[in-house]
Amino acid sequence: YDAYLKAMLATGFRLPKENILLSIGSYKEKVEMMPSVRRIFESGFKLFATPGTADFIQEHGIDVTALEADKAREGYSLEEYLSSNKIDLYINLPSKNSFRRPATYVSNGYRSRRMAIDFSVPLITNVKCAKMFIEAMARFSMDKWEIESVDYITSHRTTVLPGLVNITALLPGGDGFEQATRAAICGGFTMLGISAHGADAFATTGDQSVSKVKSAGRGHAHTDYVVEIAATEANPAAAAALSADAPILYVSFDRSHPVHVDKYSAVSEHFKAWPQNSTVITNASGNDLATMLLLASLFSRQIHVTDVRTPEDLDLIDLSRARGLCATCDVSVYALFADRLPAIEGLQSNVQPLWSRLPAIDCFTVGTLPAQAAKAAGVKDVNPATLGYQLVLPLLYTAVSEGRLTSTDVVERFCNAPRRIFGLPEQPDTYVEIHRDRLVRIPPKSDDAKWFPDILAKPAHCAVHRVVMRGKTLLLDGMFYDQGLAPVGRDLCHVLRTMSSGPSGKQFAQPPAMAAGALSVKTAAEARPTVHARKSSLAMSPAVVPAIEVDTIDEVDAVSAGLDVQPLAVDETALVTRIERPLPESRLADVMARHGNQNPFYMKHVLSVRQFTREDLHLLFAVAQEMRTVVQRSGMLPLLTGRVMAAVFYEPSSRTSSSFQTAMLRLGGQVFTANSESSSVAKGETLEDTVRTFGSYADIITLRHPQPGSVQGAARFANIPVLNAGDGIGEHPSQAMLDTFTIREELGTVNGLTITLVGDLKNGRTVHSLARVLSQYKNVTLNYVSPASLAMPESIKRDVALRAPYVEQHEFTELTDAVLAKTDVLYVTRVQKERFDNEEDYERTRSAFVIDNEVMRKCKRNMIVMHPLPRVTEIAPEVDTDQRAAYFRQMQYGMFVRMALLALVLCRNF
């Protein structure tokens, strides 16, 4: 359903918002459409209909407004509603009138369809398409689907990054929490450390201010966040008491902000009171930084220095590390590109020295520089907490293209290192897709263009294409994907791990290198730690997450920059970490809900198709469709983890045995097999004892036996469900189920079809079961084509006639052109040699019917050929390439049906 709806949307088809108009011609299609009409009504849409359709719908208790085509009352004109675009979707199903009409005759239905096209009203004119679209739309309105990589093709170079972390985000003022976190999402950031200081005089210093910030974030944050608390000379004890709610202590020496620390003795008091394993951040520089590092050493504290702007401070931090102090630091991205910013004292001259000391930098941040630059440029009427996020990746990947950075450096400093240093939790199913070669277009009147005008003069590349957080797409091509989705950000204060300095930045900050460990790139003159040491670090640290390069060309970038590219013998163990794209969960619970949460298969033996009604089979088929979707997306669905199936086959089997075993494995279960040669049957053990034995080991038994009725007899002695996988010439219920599912999937319905069964109908258990299943559908015609000696048993024909007197049954001894011309499904079976008493009888009938290209030319263009397989000579190999040959697709459908059958038998609900 999601694929169908996405395909429709890709053509420009618009989803209806409120009003849907229905005009259904034939009575048959009115009946067929009623469940779908009820579905859209229950989904909240307002229904309109032409008079005849409206009467029929109202008879079924659904509220609908009738619109008239001719002489309409005021306000009830079909023409008026279509011409004024009051209708969002028009479903018009014309009646198939076989009477000849004058060439000049124009029906009301045609006029209304023509108007829908003229006024760009979405129009559907096919009943199957209408049902499919309504079901897809109803599911979409309940649970908006994810956009996946299979939904689009792009020519851009795509890189997948983990969600980025900004550890010192400016404290939003007033009601700006949602606005600030939306801006962060637009830049690819999914986690923020909310700084204790705002652009105004506000700071989190005590219980009330911390509570105020948390209240502002609760229900309004689009990113995950952790709140920091500001150190003052008066709050050492109060700050320590709040460490559970604000687990990061921010010691500010910024004299321009009202809330800061002047006395070093106050810092000592904070170090004494603050919990040992909780984080301390400072923005100290110069002499203040030297004193902070000394105090941290005396109190055996790990300390993080934020917003480092001078090479001297970096050298001092590096020296402290060499003496054994656990000190880490971060630099604002904009300090590395300050030569492109409006003049701020001292910044431009430090750009190159900072780049030269890149190995000493642990983390990147957005920092306070955007707010300071906006203030210096006189920019007004902006929220300082929103500035800078959307320009970070374009600037960094400009440096990547110039050979100054790699994707690995970006991921390490904006994701791995912040999480490691501050004990931030992992965000499952969270990632950012970027288009590295896509031009970033910043509107000239945007807030970022006001404080960073150089971005307009020198356009950058690297656009954020998609941001996914906990499996939900939040941002797609610059727009929030689901406008109705409530903010999903969480307060992380209670889930922080113990802080750790981890490897220093030197171990990760390398000369430009291939992301994900593919190449090592370094200049000949540089004597830095080798890439092999870095590879070992990656292998030892599971927290390190590489960027996934969908189209990596860093080698070309590096060569163009004049660097020496050397190959690396990659240790596979170093590359085990991956960013996994989330897969949508199965909708099995929805399927069960639509069927009243009643499971007629649960813990039942499946011995004959006569056990189950048409509604039961439709539940099975609906679950099989979901199984198909899950297998195609993720390969398995662990519903039966810990369950064991015994596959007991006393007759040779390839497809049925393999299909059941594969179905069990794809559902997370396990299988053991047995046959007449490997089991105690060879010693004379009875079938009943074998079933009792396997019932002690397994949760379900799949049994095939050559004697008709043997499986039913054995099931009486089993204390677990038994599935009949074929009992001689008796029945094969799962094959009949998958055959019916195949017909529905290939042709859309079983009702009204002509199905021709060809071959050994006497001994073919598959056709016995299939005929009984098909008798549950309306207006089905069954043609039995076989040699006289292999005709369909009278008991089967009598059973079909009793169950469904409206099903037509015809017998033929030849496959005539007239039969072929009317056939929708040509079901071919082999003549079973093992069922004959002598070789002569078999040879006389084995090639009675052969389907080849000559036969196929006499068939309909939209029919299908099926076969339970194995085939011998009854279908020529030349038919395999015909698109109507469905027998190999039929095998795959069988796995989905058997997955559904096993799940329904062993699971009461999903």
Task: Give the catalytic positions in this structure.
Answer: 655-656, 683, 704, 732
Cα separations in angstroms, 477 against 6, 220, 230, 465, 466: 17, 22, 37, 5, 6
How many angstroms separate the CA atoms of 246 and 196, rounded?
Answer: 9
Angle at 159 between CA 153 and CA 160, to 5 degrees: 100
Cα separations in angstroms, 224 against 248, 415, 818: 15, 13, 69
DSSP characters over 398-450: HHHHTTS--HHHHHIIIIIHHHHHHTPPP-TT-EEEEEEEEEP---TTSHHHH
Cα separations in angstroms, 70 against 51, 109, 292, 767: 11, 12, 87, 53
Can you list the alpha helix ranges (DSSP code H) found in 526-577?
531-540, 554-560
* Under 8 Å between Cβ of 162 and 430: yes
* Under 8 Å between Cβ of 709 and 694: no
Tokens of 51: 């008079």
How many angstroms separate the CA atoms of 865 and 824, rounded?
Answer: 9
Can you list the alpha helix ranges (DSSP code H) found in 696-753?
710-715, 733-747
How many angstroms separate the CA atoms of 761 and 361, rounded?
Answer: 78
- How many CB atoms neighbour CB 552 within 10 A? 19
Detail the DSSP E strand segments found in 698-785. Answer: 700-705, 722-727, 754-758, 781-785
Tokens of 129: 């398409």
Q: What are 159's strand-pairing partners?
A: 434, 549
How many angstroms separate the CA atoms of 210 and 850, rounded?
Answer: 82
* Under 8 Å between Cβ of 400 and 557: yes
**Which residues, including other chains, have CB under 8 Å from residue 842's CB and lie 6 or more apart?**
831, 833, 836
DSSP characters over 225-266: EEEEEE--TT-HHHHHHTTTTS-EEEE---TTSSS----HHH
Tokens of 338: 């300050």
**Which residues, including other chains, have CB under 8 Å from residue 248's CB and lie 6 or more apart?**
193, 226, 227, 228, 229, 278, 279, 280, 281, 422
DSSP state of 518: S
How many angstroms separate the CA atoms of 696 and 685, rounded?
Answer: 16
Pairing of strands 670-675, 700-705: unpaired
Q: What are 49's strand-pairing partners?
A: 22, 66
HSE (side-chain half, CA atoms, 13 Å) at 426: 11
- How many CB atoms neighbour CB 542 within 10 A? 10
- Quick one: which of 371, 401, 408 has its CA closest to 386? 371
How many angstroms separate the CA atoms of 585 and 563, rounded?
Answer: 46
- Quick one: which of 48, 54, 58, 55 has its CA closest to 80? 48
- Quick one: which of 663, 608, 623, 619 has its CA closest to 640? 663
How many angstroms separate the CA atoms of 2 and 136, rounded?
Answer: 6
- Tokens 């999480």, located at residue: 419
Q: Supply the angle between the helices 2-10 and 127-142 in degrees, to the nearest 10.
A: 100
